A = this chain, B = another copy of it.
Amino acid sequence: MQNWLQKRVALTPTRTAVRFNGISLSFQELNTAVLSLAGKLARVLDDNPRVAVLMSNTLLGYEMILALQQLGREIVLLNYRLAPAELAFQIEDVEITQVVQADTYTGQLDVVQQVTFDYVQSQAPQMVEPVAEFALDQVTTIMYTSGTTGKPKGVEQTYGNHFYSAVGSMLNLGLTASDTWVAAVPIFHISGFSIMMRSLIYGMTVQLYERFDATVINQDIMAGDITTISVVPTMLKDLLEALPSGQCYPETFRTMLLGGGPADLATLRHAQSVNVEVVQSYGMTETASQIIALDPTDAISKMGSVGKPLFPVELKLAHANENGVGRVQVKSPTLTVGYVRQPAKFADAFEDGWFDTGDMGYLDDDGYLYLVGREGDMISSGGENIFPDEVEAMYREMPEIKEIGVVGVPDEKWGAVPVAVVELVDGADVSATDLLAYGREHIAHYKVPKAFYRLSKPWPRTASGKLQRYQLQQFIVATEKIN
């Protein structure tokens, strides 16, 4: 396929490509800026086909990523929230030699050459010819999955992955010439980066934010030219809470695309009441964003479901137990072509040509997928399978509990039993007896945690906010036990 940015300039040169902090660039203007940057980058880059980028959501960073694409480089998107040691691991693993980075991050890394945005911009641009083609089988981005378990994996994403992702989303959400998608999620994650690629493929405006500020974004949405926003559950709640009482989202706003976890009933009802259509979705770095999504008309009736596989995606549940709970496996043209330097690990992720997501779930009679948890998080207790997600979700409805994490600990009799780490709401006080009683009232007894521990340090989370349960074992300290 022709280079998407150049194709956009040919097709819709005057349409708005991106808005940021009051600046608005058409595809033509964006391209001019990008090619100028590409000409400057060409002066400072070495011959390594892979270049890393370390940045937040800024217009300059946005242009820098596109400029690297125009030069035909593979872009390694680093997460600036990671610790230096974590970044050092990725940099070594992916064998890059230069990191192009926002000036803010100067000195954060010491393992490779750091090329600051300022330094790039100080160069006199040389003439560069953008690559003619974006071949669908060509890798364009590498993103490390923080992973809820184990060593990070460098996920290689092709142009084809991003193209089919955009097509699958479009077939689900529709497309109009006035679509404007808010990118307030990080563009170094697939959730944000996929919005950039949709912009090129659809000819769509991206409204970019460096920080998520619910009040500001609500104001912009109320102004009427935003149609879509990608959010995680906390952002959804913040937006709803920040909306002045009595106000509704305008008719022009179409979709709040929710990833990274489900919304609860209260939140969904709140969303409905202010004219917000929440599309719950499921996807991962390996699938170049959402592959399964729930139609907003089903949001309440299919609460807890992540929906149905998008048009190009196939789904099956492998090794299902008698309750229909099985391993979520997919086939999709959006599926990564490999993990950097870990071909064996990548091969292991497949069974009979199906990619195993590591998630467990079941389908209802209408074909809607419900996730019950990560296979690695499952607690096998006396022949029963316990999924922490279910137990946690139940306890989150208890007024005294702010957050909870459930893990298994070895047990002589049952093999393993669930225990919980609990963060109480400010000023609340409950006994172990209260907690046990609440659990036994709501779920099978074998699923109720056998012990409860107070949260003693911050929750261990991945960069995208998912709880890393395997780290919770070290939170289980006798002195913190709730009696």
Contact = CB atoms under 8 A, between A and B. Distances in A.
Contacts of A167: 167
Interface in A285-325: 308, 311-312, 314
A176 interface: yes
Nearest to A367: B10
A398 interface: no
Interface string A1-32: 11000010011000000000000000000000
Given A167-B167, A170-B170, A10 B308 contact: yes
10 contacts: A1-B333, A10-B308, A10-B367, A171-B202, A174-B174, A174-B175, A174-B176, A174-B177, A176-B176, A201-B311
A11 B311 contact: yes
Contact of A2 (B11, B201, B314): B314
Contacts of A174: 174-177
Contact of A175 (B2, B175, B308): B175
A202 B174 CA distance: 9
Contacts of A311: 7, 11, 201
Interface size band for A: 20 to 34
A326 interface: no
A11 B172 CA distance: 10
B1 A312 contact: yes
Contacts of A201: 171, 311
A388 interface: no
Nearest to A12: B295
Contacts of A177: 174
Main secondary structure of the interface of A (DSSP, over half): mixed
Quickly give the copy total for this chain. 2
A196 B202 CA distance: 23
A10 B167 CA distance: 18
A361 interface: no
A-B pairs with lowest CB-CB distance, top 9: A174-B175, A174-B176, A175-B175, A2-B314, A10-B367, A167-B167, A11-B308, A1-B312, A174-B177
Contacts of A176: 174, 176
Nearest to A307: B11
A203 interface: yes
Given A1-B312, A170-B170, 13 more contacts: A1-B333, A2-B314, A7-B311, A11-B308, A11-B311, A167-B167, A171-B175, A171-B203, A174-B174, A174-B175, A174-B176, A174-B177, A201-B311
A316 to B, nearest CB: 11
Contacts of A203: 171
A357 to B, nearest CB: 18
Nearest to A7: B311
A70 B415 CA distance: 50
A311 B175 CA distance: 14
A349 to B, nearest CB: 21
A258 B308 CA distance: 35
Contacts of A11: 308, 311
A444 B16 CA distance: 43
Interface string A102-126: 0000000000000000000000000
Interface string A165-186: 0010011001111000000000
Nearest to A200: B311
A479 to B, nearest CB: 53
Nearest to A366: B13
A167 B175 CA distance: 11
A204 to B, nearest CB: 10
Contacts of A312: 1
A342 B446 CA distance: 70
Contacts of A1: 312, 314, 333
A170 B179 CA distance: 14
Contacts of A314: 1-2
A422 B19 CA distance: 57
A116 to B, nearest CB: 35
